[in-house]
Structure formats: structure tokens, C-alpha cells
Amino acid sequence: MTPALQVEGLGVAFGGIRAVDGVSFMAQRQAITTVIGPNGAGKSTLFNLISGQIPPHTGRVALDGVDRTGAPPHLMQRAGLGRSFQITNLFFELTVFENLQLAAQRLEPPRQMLRRIGHGEASLQRVGELVERFSLAAKLGELAGALSHGEQRRLEIAVALAAKPSVLLLDEPTQGMSHGDTADTARLIRDLSRDVTILLIEHDIGLVMDISDHIVVMHQGRMLAEGAPPEVRANPAVKAAYFGDASC
């Protein structure tokens, strides 16, 4: 079966420094692939390359078997790629409903763009589904900027998911969350992976080992190792560069 996302030899350099260098991996359908690595390993830059925010200097990105290398973010989104951000990136001056509606209206046919939003049944239906799934019913009328950090992180995922992407890139979705919120979010991500392919960046190694189907380890812009969680945990190079020999 064609992988949902295929990355081959992806690389980019900034002023002579290779931030991402020859990274290749595949994200299988309805699975969670997690990218780990120390700060500065190039994980977020890799996300920026895949989502079209930065055009790559080398390599290719394929979504559902179709080469999308160099496509700008809006075309990558239309091709089925949704993403969330490490630093919460919402429309803080809009209500929760408006954030969700804005993202979900991509589901409407083009003619709906010039009609009032009340006529967009598909998008309103989708907002209803997201509100239930992400427990945001009580917050619909509040400004996104007025939500708690945990609620904002949930809304961030909901917005990325609104247009029903086939691949969802989640950049540290549990960053800054309490222990309880982190556990809830881990369950949510596991649940989401039944419908959508997930590519995750996460620092919480316990969570990573718990929910990931496949792990890609990055170090200094390069891919150090990849495999199932037990394989990665047992990999000597990963132990040395990331976990530390004594901890594993």
C-alpha cells in the first residue's frame, strides 16, 4: 500500500548550516509516526519542509504517492496535509466557533465562498463533530485568546483537523500541558490515528513510547535511526546521542 506520507532525502541549509540533511522515512496510514531528537535536531524545520513553509533544497515529499515537493502551504493543505504548531498559532481575536468554522469551511464547494457562512451545512456539521470530540461546547462563544493553555492546545489540534486531512502534523501538542491534560491529549491522539495518519513531534519520551507505532530519531539535522519503539529504545546510537547510555 502507498504510504500516506513519504519523505526522501529531504534537506535544507541556512547560511551553510544544514538544518535538515538527507532525511528519509515513510508514515504509514492510520499510524502514529513520531519524530524525536534533542533541541536543535531539526524536527520543526522538517515539519516546515513537509508542510511547504520552507521549500527544500534537496529531496522530495509525496502525499498519497503524489509528489508535492515545493508546494506552498495552502496547496499542501488542499492535498490533504493539516498541521499544528509548537507555539500555539490560532486566531486569538476570533471566537472558538469562528476559529473552527474558518478551518472547516474548506470542506464546502467553491461556490460557498461567496455565500454567508450560515449556508455552509458541511462546515457547520464538521464544527459540531469537532466541538463534541474536543469538548469545546462550553467555550464556543469565547475568544480563542481567552482560553486556558490546555484548551488552546486542544483547539489548535481541532483547527488542524477541521478540513479532514489525510495526514496530520502535530508539533509538540502537549507542550506546557499539565500531567492530566497530557494524558488526555495522548488518548485523543491515539483515538485520532484511527481516522488520520499522524506525524508527531514530541519531547515526552514516556508518551512517545506509549502511543507511537514508528519512531524517527533526528540528531544535528540528520536521521539517526528509525523503527518501532522497542527497536529505537535498544539502538546503541540512539542511546548514546539521545537517551544517554545509563538511562536505558
Partner 1 sequence: MRSASSKDASAFLAFDRSGLAMRASHVLVVILVVAAFGFAAVGAALNDTFYLRLATEALIFGGFALSVDILLGYTGLLSLGHALYFGFGAYVSALVLKETPSFWAAMGAVLAATLVFGFITGLIANRVRGVYFALVTFGIAQVAAKAVYNTRALGASDGLIGIPIVPINLGFMTVMSNAPVAFFLFTLVFVILLYVAAAYLLDTSFGRILGALRVNEHRVPFLGYSTHRARLSIYVFAAIIAALSGALYPMLRGFVSPELMFFTTSGNAVITVVIGGVGTLAGALYGSVILTVLKSVIGTMTEHHLIVIGILFMAVVIFLPKGLMGVIRPRIARRLRGGAR
- Site residues, partner 1 (CB under 8 A): 51-52, 72-74, 77-78, 82-83, 89-98, 101-103, 105-106, 108, 112-118, 120-121, 123-125, 127-129, 131-132, 136-138, 140-141, 159-160, 162-163
Shortest Å, Cβ 93 to partner 1 = 5
Complex with partner 1: residue 28 or 95, whichever CB lies closer? 95
The dihedral formed by the CA atoms of 148, 81, 220 and 55, expressed in degrees to the nearest 10: -120
Shortest Å, Cβ 47 to partner 1 = 11
Q: Are 195 and 204 in contact (CB under 8 A)?
A: no
Closest CA to 157 of 178, 139, 182, 130: 130
**What three-state secondary structure class fits 109?**
coil
Torsion angles phi and psi, residue 83, rounded to 5: -145, 150
Complex with partner 1: residue 117 or 205, whichever CB lies closer? 117
Complex with partner 1: residue 77 or 182, whichever CB lies closer? 77
Q: In this structure, are strands 197-201 and 32-36 parallel, antiparallel, or unpaired?
A: parallel
Shortest Å, Cβ 90 to partner 1 = 7
Shortest Å, Cβ 152 to partner 1 = 13
Alpha-carbon distance values, 138 to 71, 134, 147, 170 (Å): 38, 11, 11, 24
Complex with partner 1: residue 68 or 214, whichever CB lies closer? 68
Shortest Å, Cβ 124 to partner 1 = 4
Complex with partner 1: residue 108 or 202, whichever CB lies closer? 108
| Alpha carbon distance 215, 226 (integer Å) | 5
